[in-house]
Amino acid sequence: MLTKTQVKEALHIIEDMYPEAECELIHSNPFELLIAVVLSAQCTDSLVNKVTPGLFAKYHAPDDFAAVKQEELEQDIRSIGLYRNKAKNIKKLSESLIEQFNGEVPETREELMSLAGVGRKTANVVASVAFHTPAIAVDTHVERVSKRLGICRWKDNVREVEETLMKKVPEEEWAQTHHRLIFFGRYHCKAKDPQCPSCPLLDMCREGQKRMRQREVKHG
């Protein structure tokens, strides 16, 4: 496991690699962000970004999503995985926003998590990006990088990964750390082909060193 000092050092290196890291989901307000994050579950941001411009041109507010027939909404997001379930959740959460929050996206994680299709990760992203609330959302990239680097344990569940990061990273850096770890995982420390040989973190990465040893044995 990395010490707090090593975690700080690793995050500084990742910051140097991806100084512009930010939310890549295209949106112009908290409601659009909420819809985009719900759509992005088990799906790439780039695919969501192909669908949302047309979607947000057609539907501007919770009222529009609440009013449309579910079948029509399904067709509008058909190219995205789990589109039936997501269409149902978007309609339900839009109705909840109208009935419980005057059509506005709530700012707290607890209120966000009361909405259909919104789990802790989605709520953290919306609270952090839209309302600048300190939060670390743990998606597949954040979890993979944290475990490979040894910031947390392999056996940790998503909530434990989040809590470990919150302990080891200063609160004012939570939001940016989330984005930087995503960029690092998405573009460098990829699931299937991590760039270990060229990685500036190799000397402190247990998984990278193990992979390099296996490589040497294989090619030795």
Binding residues for [4Fe-4S] cluster: 189, 196, 199, 205
Give the Cα separation of 23 and 37 in Å (integer).
10
Binding residues: 189, 196, 199, 205
Q: Which of 86, 91, 139, 168 is catalytic?
A: 139
90: left (phi over 0), alpha (psi -120 to 50) or beta: alpha
Q: Which of 121, 167, 192, 210 is catalytic?
A: 121
Is 63 considered catalytic here?
no
Q: With CA atoms as reference, report the closest residue to 142 among 5, 20, 21, 4.
A: 21
Identify the three-state secondary structure at position 185.
Answer: helix
Give one DSSP letter per residue of 133-150, joined into a string.
-------HHHHHHHHHHT
Give the Cα separation of 11 and 15 in Å (integer).
6
Instruction: Give the number of other CB atoms < 10 A from CB of residue 206.
Output: 14
- Tokens linked to 132: 């600048």
Q: How far, in Å, are 41, 66, 80 from residue 196 at the CA level?
A: 27, 47, 31
Give the Cα separation of 2 and 152 in Å (integer).
8
Is 156 considered catalytic here?
no
Task: Catalogue the active-site residues.
Answer: 121, 139
